[in-house]
Amino acid sequence: MAWMNTSESFRAGGDVPRTFQRRGLLNELSGTLVSQSPVGLAVMDTDLRYLAVNPALERINGLSNEEHVGRTVSEILPGVDTGAIESAQWRVLETGVPLLDQNVVGRTWADAGQDHAWSVSLYQLHDSVGRVWGVAASIADVTERHRLATEAARARRRLALIADASARIGTVLDVDQTARELAEVTVPELADLATVDVLDTILAFHRAAGPGSGPELFRALALAAAYPSEATRAADQVGDLAAYAADRLVTQCVRTGKPVLIPDVSNRDLPRIARDSEAVTLLARAGVHSYLAVPLTARGTVLGALDLKRARNPLPFNHDDAVLAGELANRAAVSIDNARWYQSVRNTAVTLQRSLLPEHPSHLVGLETASRYQPAQATTEVGGDWFDIIPLSGDKTALVVGDVMGSGIDAAATMGRLRTATCTLAELDFDPAQVLQHLDRITSGLEHYIATCLYAVYDPHHAECRIANAGHLPPVLVHTGRPAELLDLCPGAPLGVGGVTFHSSTVDLGPGDDLVLYTDGLVETRHHSIDDRLDTLLRLLDGSEHRAVEETCDLLLHALRNPGDHDDVALLIARVRPAQP
């Protein structure tokens, strides 16, 4: 079937009727339009088999008109997903509703090694009385437009990924969580499987010996997968240590400080990626076909590597992927470096603070005690909170809680001096007010520091407690069977003010009664009034005689403390035990 017979040119003549002149001109123009159109054109019959195609479609499909005729789209184009096209053809044939500008991507015989994109439009053909002849199609090559749109969409996704990473990575100063955040950001947008491994020497703060020929020891910090896969079993599990020899790609990555990109992983590459032969088998079965490792570099130091693999994602990693992964890795590396320094300094600070706190005496007459010290959660600096339990002569026990205002090593050192002085003064069997008087004079000479302090002495033989206060929050007394109450003591001035007189008060204590001493970090917050918080403390302590003192300590810290609290806490609870016969 020919489109039209246009082999003879139209010749105007006076004896040719004007109608035929117009019709001949239109036929010639129509044939020229079809044959010279850069848009592919096709006509299919009611069985959706080709009746004719124009030269443009011959060039697009790489087949002549004769090779098209009598065949369907699926028979002509095995390199294109034709299921959707044929469904659309049937729909247009049956309904008469045109389909316009449907994008199709695939390969034809004209360029079997490269994907192309086409804009396909379909419409029904029928005669003047409505009898359906078939379906016509127009096909325009839009490969360049598709490529630009794809690149623009990819760029938008990459920018979105970087924005997402900026919001999600480094939310807290925690090495493990930051590594998890990095791995989770990259999956599935960038990889099917992501792992974050940090050099063990970095985590241990050991000085690296420099590049060598031996293996590198990595600690796996994070693992994220887009879907369940055998590849996850091939990866080092979180927390594991693994040694990778010099020929392994991840080792090359951290030693050179440069990305390692294997777009198409071969069987020879897998042993350089996997930890052992079993992992090689698992990665092969999982279909891993592309690999990328980028270094985690912060302040000129390589901390470890971000390791990425693709299996179901059919696209190989490319240079753009390496640039994007490097950007994400560098952002995370700075956060990981900050977190590891923070944790190191914090661990040192907490160790120092705890070393300055006392151990519980093995035996106290008439008293059972429990204590807690909890450092501030939102700072690396040590605080000046302390408590002490000091056995005295005559079976008495001194109970002390104090808080040096400020933070840092100097505050901790001042706390250590005051604790030592308090222990020395306690041995002299002074009245609590006298002890505070001496501590006030000592504190006045300690670099302008001031401190609050509660000093109490329990006498089991008289069933009473003598207490003096130097500007500290009042203790809580819980009598058996009665509501908890704040003791109304003479508040006194903080230690270090100088020239202040302190006063002692006497409180009767019976079997089962609890005396609760604490520092301000337990009850003070930035968002609640101190009165409300003290009321909450009293409610929590109501009925505490029915709990073990250790339980009560844990209850108070759990109910009153938050992860972001900026102050440390010292807590001491003393319970009167019944007299032994």
Q: Which residues are CB-contacts of 470 (< 8 A; sequence separation ≥ 6)?
A: 436, 439, 440, 451, 452, 453, 454, 455, 492, 493, 494, 495, 502
Burial of 163 (0-12, 13-18, 19+ CB in 10 A): exposed
**Residue 228: how many CA atoms within 13 Å on its side-chain side?**
0
pLDDT score for 460: 95
Beta bridge partners of 391: 397
Q: Which residues are CB-contacts of 297 (< 8 A; sequence separation ≥ 6)?
A: 257, 303, 329, 330, 333
User: Does one domain contain both 227 and 274?
Assistant: yes
Enter the DSSP assignment of 240.
-
User: Does one domain contain both 178 and 257?
Assistant: yes
Q: Show which of 141, 175, 193 is a domain's final residue.
A: 141
Using alpha carbons only, give the angle 227, 233, 237 rounded to the nearest 5 degrees.
105
- Give per-residue burial for 12-45: e unless 16+ CB within 10 Å, then b: eeeeeeeeeeeebeeebeebeebeeeebbbbbbb
Tally of residues, the chain: 581
Q: Each residue of 164-182: pLDDT tens digit?
A: 888 888 888 889 999 999 9
Q: Is residue 7 in some structural domain? A: no
Name the token pair of 58. Answer: 């011959």
Which parts of the chain have pLDDT scores under 70? Answer: 1-33, 206-213, 346, 349-350, 352-354, 356-357, 377-382, 409, 447-448, 564, 580-581
Q: Which residues are CB-contacts of 485 (< 8 A; sequence separation ≥ 6)?
A: 476, 477, 478, 479, 538
pLDDT score for 256: 95
User: Does one domain contain both 222 and 122?
Assistant: no
Q: Is residue 1 in some structural domain? A: no
Q: Is residue 13 in some structural domain? A: no
User: Does one domain contain both 172 and 66?
Assistant: no
Residue 25, amino acid: L
Residue 166, phi then psi, degrees to nearest 5:
-60, -35
Question: 472: closest CA among 533, 423, 404?
Answer: 404
Question: 359: closest CA among 377, 371, 343?
Answer: 371
Pairing status of strand 451-459 against strand 397-407: antiparallel
Grouping H, G, I as helix, E, B as strand and the rest as coil, residue 559 is helix
CATH code, domain with 317: 3.30.450.40
User: How far from chain centre, in Å, is Cα 464?
Assistant: 55
Residue given tokens 């002569």 in the structure block: 393
Q: Is residue 29 in some structural domain? A: no
pLDDT score for 211: 57
> What distance in Å separates the CA atoms of residue 40 and residue 3, rounded to the nearest whole number?
13
Residue 187, amino acid: V
* DSSP string over 369-380: EEEEEE--SS-S
**DSSP H helical ranges for 287-358:** 319-355
Whether the CB-CB separation of 258 and 330 falls below 8 Å is answered with: no
pLDDT score for 28: 62
pTM of this prediction exceeds 0.95: no
User: Does one domain contain both 211 and 173?
Assistant: yes
User: Does one domain contain both 286 and 396?
Assistant: no
User: Does one domain contain both 421 and 524?
Assistant: yes
What is the number of helices (H) and of strands (E) in the chain? 17, 21
* Cα torsion through 538, 542, 548, 554, rounded to 10: -40
Q: How many domains does the chain have?
A: 3
Q: Is residue 11 in some structural domain? A: no
pLDDT score for 127: 84
Burial of 430 (0-12, 13-18, 19+ CB in 10 A): middle
Residue 260, phi then psi, degrees to nearest 5:
-120, 115
> What distance in Å separates the CA atoms of residue 302 and residue 297, rounded to the nearest whole number?
4
User: Does one domain contain both 371 and 278?
Assistant: no
CATH code, domain with 130: 3.30.450.20
User: Does one domain contain both 158 and 226?
Assistant: yes
Q: Is residue 72 in some structural domain? A: yes
Residue 108, phi then psi, degrees to nearest 5:
-120, 175
Q: Which residues are CB-contacts of 502 (< 8 A; sequence separation ≥ 6)?
A: 432, 433, 436, 437, 440, 468, 469, 470, 490, 492
- 345 phi-psi bin (left φ>0, alpha ψ -120 to 50, beta other): alpha
pLDDT score for 14: 39
pLDDT score for 354: 67
pLDDT score for 9: 33
Name the token pair of 336. Answer: 């990981």
Q: Is residue 153 in some structural domain? A: yes
> What distance in Å separates the CA atoms of residue 428 and residue 392, rounded to the nearest whole number?
9
> What distance in Å separates the CA atoms of residue 479 and residue 509, rounded to the nearest whole number?
8
pLDDT score for 223: 96
User: Does one domain contain both 309 and 364?
Assistant: no
- Own/partner long-range contacts of 276-281 (Cβ < 8 Å, ≥24 apart): 278/234, 279/233, 279/234, 279/235, 280/234
Structural domain of 371: 358-576
Q: Is residue 32 in some structural domain? A: no
pLDDT score for 160: 79
Name the token pair of 189. Answer: 């947008």
Q: Which residues are CB-contacts of 351 (< 8 A; sequence separation ≥ 6)?
A: none
User: Does one domain contain both 157 and 136?
Assistant: no
User: Does one domain contain both 64 and 94?
Assistant: yes
CATH code, domain with 399: 3.60.40.10
Q: Show which of 78, 113, 141 is a domain's final residue.
A: 141
